[in-house]
Structure 1
Amino acid sequence: MPYLELAGFRSAALTRTFDLQNDLMSALVKRWRPETHTFHLSCGECTVTLKDVALHFGIPINGSVVMGVSAIAEPVTLCYSLLGASPDDDEPNFSDLKFTWLKANFEHLSVNATEEELMCAARAYIMHIIGGVLMPNSNNNRVHLQYLPLLADLRNVCSYSWGFAVLAMLYHESDKA
């Protein structure tokens, strides 16, 4: 938790996922207006704001824009340097990490874990939070590697506007729905 707090992800780590009710989601999608990014409800218009995202997840909303690199030249090297391990994927130029791999490699730490091992586990956990809670993609079981370089120095992670990236992803996914 100290490393998650250092990175500004302590509150986001406490966020729990839940099963979505399809009928509720369907009703919300029908009321979404992509041109205004609002829900049109019987009581009036409603939108999700940057402040809502910050309050709900407790992530930073001020700072540099979160923009990951879409293509990582040496993903194996990147994973070894920041996570201390790399997936045994058949393709050497993979672009995302499976949650099953993250869980298998970082769920249990030794009681004698070094500071470096703890930081690697914190990065892995933040990657899981990013891909599983904050910015899930359509296959919901992977997170893109583009965010991993942003976690290199855990002290600098909170200098990024993660809330803005989450809000942008929310609008994008709502428009697609």
Structure 2
Amino acid sequence: MATASLIKKDPYIADTVNKTVMESYRVLRGRVNGLGYSPDARLMPYLELAGFGSAALIWTFDLRYDLISALVEHWRPETHTFHLPCGECIVTLEDVALQLGLPIDGSPITGVCAIAEPAALCYGLLEASPDHDESNLSGLKFTWLKVNFEHLPDNATEEELICAARAYIMHIIRGVLMLDANNNRVHLMYLPLLTDLHNVRSYN
């Protein structure tokens, strides 16, 4: 009885999804933030090694905003779940792990946000650094990552490929996995975690 009272009585967006005329004013407008480029095929072994192989394949999106809007209509803040005719539903951490292939039971990630020598860190792990005053260098812009790591030379060394894989993982972290309102750069605090790609898979 309590569950039934949480289900709205108003007409749903879902009722009009398959009709030719749609109440467009009720459809949510979304902002898609993708990676902007697909990884070089030579990076895939390193992305797989780090556990980001599956996540690297979601660099583009094709979203149905009318269906997303219909789902949002069924969200109930009282229970933090979607109330559907078939029952309650919610996306779990396990669902995300199964879809993206990311570990959810590894070592927790902790650390500080302040990087003592950000330029040295960038040069050490990416072999490049943005031309900024080091006191203001706290993150890497997506445009900078794309310009410097999208096109690799045909004779790229293994170290260059590893650096490009680190850059792509940085892009995945902020471009797909941990979005926020300031979605044009990724914080440097994630870069030290990618020092040894063999260890990345062990993180939660």
TM-score normalised according to structure 1 size:
0.80
Q: Distance in 2 between matches of 1:61 and 1:43?
A: 28
Q: Which moved more, 1:70-79 or 1:25-34?
A: 25-34
Where 1:148 maps in the other structure, the secondary structure is helix
Unaligned runs of 5+ in 2: 1-43
* Residue 16 of structure 1: how far off its partner (Å): 3.2
Aligned residues: 161
CA RMSD of aligned residues (A): 2.0
- Percent of aligned pairs with the same residue? 75
Q: Which residue of 2 aligns with 1:55?
A: 98
* Other structure's SS at 2:173 match: helix
Superposed displacement of residue 68, structure 1 = 4.5
Unmatched segments (≥5 aa) in structure 1: 162-177
User: What does residue 17 of structure 1 align with?
Assistant: 60
Any residues of structure 2 matched to 1:1-177 within 5 Å, and which?
1-18=44-61, 20=63, 24-34=67-77, 36-90=79-133, 92-161=135-204
1:40-74 alpha-carbon deviations (Å, 9 max, x no partner): 23432111112201111111122111234322122
Q: How far is the alpha carbon of 1:23 from its aligned partner?
A: 5.0
Larger radius of gyration: 2
Question: What CA distance in whole angstroms lies between the structure 1 residues aligned with 2:78 and 2:123?
Answer: 43
Matching residue's letter, 2:54: S
Corresponding letter in the other structure for 2:138: S
Give the secondary-structure state (helix, strand or coil) at the position aligned to 1:64. Answer: coil
Q: Distance in 1 between matches of 2:46 and 2:65?
A: 36
**Once structures 1 and 2 are overlaid, which stretch shifts more, 2-11 or 23-32?**
23-32
- Distance (Å, rounded) in 1 between the aligned partners of 2:134 and 2:115: 13
Distance 1:154 1:49 in 2: 27
Paired residue secondary structure (1:119)? helix
CA distance in 1, matches of 2:176, 2:97: 14
Q: Is the 8 A contact 2:118 2:134 kept in 1?
A: no
CA distance in 2, matches of 1:25, 1:88: 41
Structure with the bigger percentage of helix: 1
Q: Please state how far the C-alpha of 1:112 moved relative to its aligned partner.
A: 1.4
- Mapped to 2, the partners of 1:42 and 1:16 lie a distance apart of 33
Cα distance change, pair 88–37 in 1 and its aligned pair in 2 (3 A): farther
- Which runs of 4 or more aligned residues in structure 1 lie more than 3 Å from their structure 2 counterparts after TM superposition? 19-37
Distance 2:84 2:115 in 1: 43
Q: Distance in 2 between matches of 1:90 and 1:18?
A: 35
Quick check: 15-24 or 47-56, which moved more? 15-24
